[in-house]
Amino acid sequence: MYDGAMGTMIQNQGKWLDEAAYRGERFANWSCNVKGNNDLLSLTQPQVIRKIHMEYLQSGSRLIGTNTFSSTRIAQADYKMENLAYEMNYAGAKLAREVCDEMTSLHPDRPCFVVGALGPTNRTGSISPSVEDPSFRNVTFDELVESYYEQAIGLVHGGADILMVETIFDTLNAKAALFAIGELIEELEVDIPVFVSGTLVDLSGRTLSGQTTEAFYASIRHSKPMCVGLNCALGAQQMVPFVERLSKCAECFVHVYSNAGLPNAMGGYDDTPEDMAGYNRIFFEKGWLNMVGGCCGSTPPHIAAIAATVKEGGYKPRVLPPVRRPKMWLSGLEDLIVDDVHNHLGLPFLNVGERCNISGSIHFKKLMMNGNYGEAMDIAKKQVADGAHVIDINVDDGMLDGLAAMQKFVKIAVTEPEVGKVPFMLDASKFEIVVAGLKWCQGKCIVNSISLKVGEELFIEQAKLLKKHGAAVVVMAFDEQGQAATASEKIRICKRSYDILVNKVRFPPEDIIFDPNVLTIGTGMEEHANYGVDFIEATKVIKEECPFAKVSGGISNLSFGFRGVNVVRESIHSVFLYHAILEAGMDMGIVNSHEMIYYHDIEADMKLLCENLVFNKTSDATEKMLERTQWEKEAAIARKKGLTVGNNSTTNSITPKATSWRDQPVTERLSHALINGITQYIDDDVEEARKAATKPLDVIEGPLMSGMNIVGDLFGSGKMFLPQVIKSARVMKKAVAYLLPFMEEEKKQKLLAEGKDPTATNENDVSNFAGTMLIATVKGDVHDIGKNIVAVVLGCNNYKVYDIGVMVPCDTILDEAIRLNVDVIGLSGLITPSLDEMVYVAKEMKRRNMKQPLLIGGATTSKMHTAVKIAPNYSTIEHPVIHVLDASRSVTVVSSLLGQDKAEYAESILEEYDELREDYYDGLENRRFLTIQQAIKQRKVIDFKNSSLSTPAQLGTQVITLSIDDVIPFIDWNPFFQTWELRGRYPNRGYPKIFNDENVGQAAKNLHNDALNMLEQVKNNKSLELKGVVGIYPANTIGTEDVQIYTDETRTTPIATFHMLRQQAEVDGETSYLSLADFVAPKDLNIPDYLGMFAVACLGSSTLITKYEAEHDDYSKIMIEALADRLVEAFAEALHRDIRTRIWGYAQEEDLSSEDMLKIKYQGIRPAPGYPSQPDHTEKATMWNVMNVTENTGIKLTEHFSMDPPSSVSALDLDVKKVNILLLDKLVKIKLNITLKEKDLMFLKLKDG
């Protein structure tokens, strides 16, 4: 017998128990009211609590609950008594201990026990208190654990025999309490019985957080409670069906302590002791209980009546059920016994929905990247509706804060009944992310995954933590040596993992799920052909050697080579699963339930193709499936056009007509052979091309490479499949093999001509290769299939590839690259932590001053991540960092990096990545900014004392005029073509190569000719004038962001002050937060420094624009606008050169071509107001006043600080050789840190930017 309600008995004490009585002497002056804080009475009125305990013991109770229901730091915060939590629990347990010991001494044959009561707190981990934000919580799991741990240790120290987590309306709170108790038991090295008591809030039979009785039990059973039951909220009558359900599923003792009926209109309880005893009788008659007591409204007479009923009826306690076969028992809002599941196709298989996985759904990825959690929930709902038993949640992406995204998604998902009803599989490459998600799940989840690749010690540590949380776990078939590919390796690693988990960790074997790695078949590579067979054979043995464990896998990996044609992919999956499930015992898999095909519904010929492919029955299985894939794709196109298509590839009428490709020129024949994987004529065609070429290498770098570029484009657009890419690579390999003897002979003759011995061998001689590359999977990552395919494709294209394996530490990669003197380094990775390692490698390459281009590839990598996170740490024109989308692109990228046009290619990559970074940072909603004080603290401090500063040749202001002929050599034509929206594709991006582009080349030529003609016109009629003003002034920095300029070298009379801004936005790769003021010597150093500035314009364009508008000649109007812009920019370029070499003269020895000047290879910078490094347009007003710009040139400023005419340019000029920083104008968003008062512009609103 348990006791009854403590609160009811306290309320029955009478009016004397008022605020003063609650306070007692100790808390007489407490700062807030404390009446209602019943747990405080253990300290202020202990005699009251002692008396209540004794009355319950005298009424028949043998177990007494402590007066500590709200004695957590969290709950006591309402009374500002957080710091009394331990003391309250200790005192509450000590009081109960004393009373129990007293009663036991009187009746030694009826020992009494203290039950330490841990209530639910007044907060909930599973439910948002905010209607607007379902992801908001007012308490975290860790805060609950900390609070419960303090409570539990106080109870144990005070003498509690048992710990009871009670009145559970939110199972997540209970799991936190049980976690805390587990930690306490482990620390104290004692075995304390644990009771768990849930609360069903209404007749739906669910907790407040939505769980059913069975789901509640499944969620907490990992804690191995001695007794589980229900209490509060309902009377005994209403609890009957739920107690029955709990009694049927619980493997331990069961209890009930109901209310004395439902509350009446006044909040009281009407069941008399006799009523309550009668309503409880059914529990005893059915044999459902082992312990009974009372909750709200019950008193010692109620307990006495129940005890009498039990005694008079001679009722026996519930018999513990027999030990059952271990089964995996998961839960969301509802429970799920995995071993009993059959999916929607009737197979004994658990469908894990893949669509809430960033790598499994492009749509889901876009939603998550945009923070659209509402629509992401719709994807989850649809998966459940389509037959998913478990939802896989994976937010692994280098551009996403996985920790935050996982937590937010889970917190919202658990509040969505249609989603939260199923268990979750928390899937991440980083262990801390799955643990973070686990802490927001009230149900029993699956964690995906852990493996031995981290080493046995960490593997055990991770498994122990998951066991404490009660999670099931996916164990990948990886170990310290890498990924298991063969059946024997899969079995070995899984058996080793099983033995460690079961024997060392004591992990429940039924909660272990092995993923023996579903690897891609049908790639065209022989070593991949048996992967399906290996998995099925391994599954059968694993099920035999690892009792009760499950086997799972990511099914979409199997058919990756045929992506884009779902009927083929799903047919392969269906055949594979049918045999893996029914013949080998595979239990579950990550699938798209909606698209799964019933095995017996697959067309006979398709089924045969799949069987041959999956089981590697025929040598041409991949080839035949590739043919069927091509047909299916063409058939799909035909159906969209309304054409009739036969049932299979043998009866269709849409097969492409035979082409006469053999009649084409040899270059086109070679491309055709590469694209279609035809080797039949390759030797003859290569020989013909060789004879027409200057040297054999020209054939490789010419028509053969052009063909491979087309292959890359087709694969990237989904028009080719992986097996075809491999076939194309093999055609290339055969072509290169044919040319090698000729290349050897060429090399021999060259050596003879040089007087060298051609027979002397050098094992390091790689001169016959197109280039060399080192490739590795980075540390911590065991995936190598994609890397291997890249190595094959590059090898077939005559590149020497050094593949140094998986899980390769950074130092090993770089040391080997240096030793082998490779041309290019490639990093591969599949899991998100690999992205961090790639960033580290890039930083180390910069630190070591390495010069090799760095290629980034793998499933988890992306162009955006490479641009934002990796490239800023290493990338330059000399050694760019480039993301390679897939194996087919690797040849194009490497050949471009090692070709004559490397600089142009690298420049196009850097330009593209700059735009990606700008787009990324512009789109960030939650951009983090340092305070101005933090940014100043991290600013770059320049050693001006050891810098060589140039004294200007000419100080002051001077007016400049130039002719159009003077500036034509400085025109950058690229923006001109962009104005007209003409862009060439690499390698024909930019002027003048745009003229060679097959799409826009001719239009660009015509446009350029028109521009030159108009330039001649304006030169002849002198309708445009180039005029400007330049000034160089003594200057020094005052403070940290202000630069003063002075009348003369005495630096005593300031002319004006420029208010520079400082970079405050966090940027990947940045180590300091810059301001233009950092590059001018501080005045307190007494070092003379200078600041230059200019303003230039192309005058007369407005008159011409008005003329063309009147003539309705829009083409000429736009042309003159574009030309005026180009001319004034060229004027600025020419003037800047004069400043550097003559007027200031800090780069007098400069001798740069116009092309190099446009690439900013000069010393010095000219940041313009309004641009990222100087975004404040109001600085123009200071420039205009200092140089009398309007009077000297006619250039005016509008009220919003725009320049008139529009074809005007103004800028500051700084000599930055002294700091060796040339990219200040690349700074991204800068936050204003000045005030309008400093500007004396009270009328102007400046946008914080």
The helix or strand, by DSSP H or E, that contains position 1034, with its residue range, turns out to be strand 1025-1038
Place of tokens 């202990």: 46
- Angle at alpha carbon of residue 804, lines to 798 and 809, rounded to 5°: 140
Instruction: Name the 3-class secondary structure at 239.
Output: helix
Per DSSP, the residues of 469-480 read HT-EEEEESEET
- Strand pairing category for 63-65 and 113-118: parallel
Name the residue with tokens 């993992």: 497
Q: φ, ψ for residue 803 (rounded to 5)?
A: -95, 110
**Residues 6+ away with beta carbon under 8 Å from 1102:** 1205
Identify whether 302 is a catalytic site residue.
no
**CB 24, CB 55: distance < 8 Å:** no
Catalytic residue of the set 828, 834, 1075, 1207:
834
Catalytic annotation, pick one of 781, 803, 823, 1125: 781
Quick check: is 948 catalytic?
Answer: no
CB 331 within 8 Å of CB 211: yes
**Distance from the Cα of residue 812 to its chain's centroid:** 27
Strand pairing category for 1203-1204 and 1196-1197:
antiparallel
87, 68 contact by CB (below 8 A): no
Collapsed DSSP state (helix, strand, coil) of residue 1126: helix
971 forms bridges with which residues in the sheet? none
How far CA 370 is from CA of 364, 367, 509, 531, 831, in Å, comes to 10, 5, 40, 37, 21
781 catalytic residue (yes or no):
yes
Q: Please tell me the distance from the alpha carbon of residue 1041 to that of residue 1076, in angstroms, as a whole number.
A: 8
Closest CA to 122 of 144, 102, 95: 144
If one counts every other C-beta atom within 10 angstroms of the C-beta of residue 304, the result is: 20
What tokens appear for 182 in the block?
A: 């587990």
Angle at 319 between CA 317 and CA 322, to 5 degrees: 170
Let me know: does 877 contact 910? Beta carbons within 8 Å: yes
Q: Which residues sit opposite 352 in a β-bridge?
A: 390, 590
Q: How many CB atoms lie within 10 A of CB 110?
A: 11
Residue at token pair 């009328």: 1243
CA-to-CA distance for 84 and 476, rounded, in angstroms? 47
Amino acid at 978: Q
Q: Which DSSP symbol is given to 1072? A: S
Structure tokens at 479: 């170990």
Q: What is the DSSP letter of 929?
A: B
CA-based torsion, 990, 992, 998, 1001: positive or negative: positive
Q: Could you tell me if 772 and 826 are in contact, meaning their C-beta atoms sit under 8 angstroms apart?
A: no
186 sits in which H/E element: helix 171-188
Helix intervals (H) in 59-165:
73-76, 85-106, 141-158
For 922, counting Cβ atoms within 10 Å of its Cβ (0-12 exposed, 13-18 middle, 19+ buried), the class is exposed
Q: Which candidate in 255, 528, 783, 883 is catalytic?
A: 783
Helices 431-438, 402-413: crossing angle, 10 deg rounding: 30
The rounded distance, in Å, linking the Cα atoms of 891 and 885 is: 11
Determine which helix (DSSP H) or strand (DSSP E) holds 1227, and give its type and residue range.
Answer: none
SS3 of 836, please? helix
Per the DSSP assignment, residues forming a β-bridge with 474 are 448, 513
Q: Which residue has the tokens 């099920």?
A: 543
1077 within 8 A of 1038, measured Cβ to Cβ: no
Tell me the catalytic residues.
Answer: 781, 783, 834
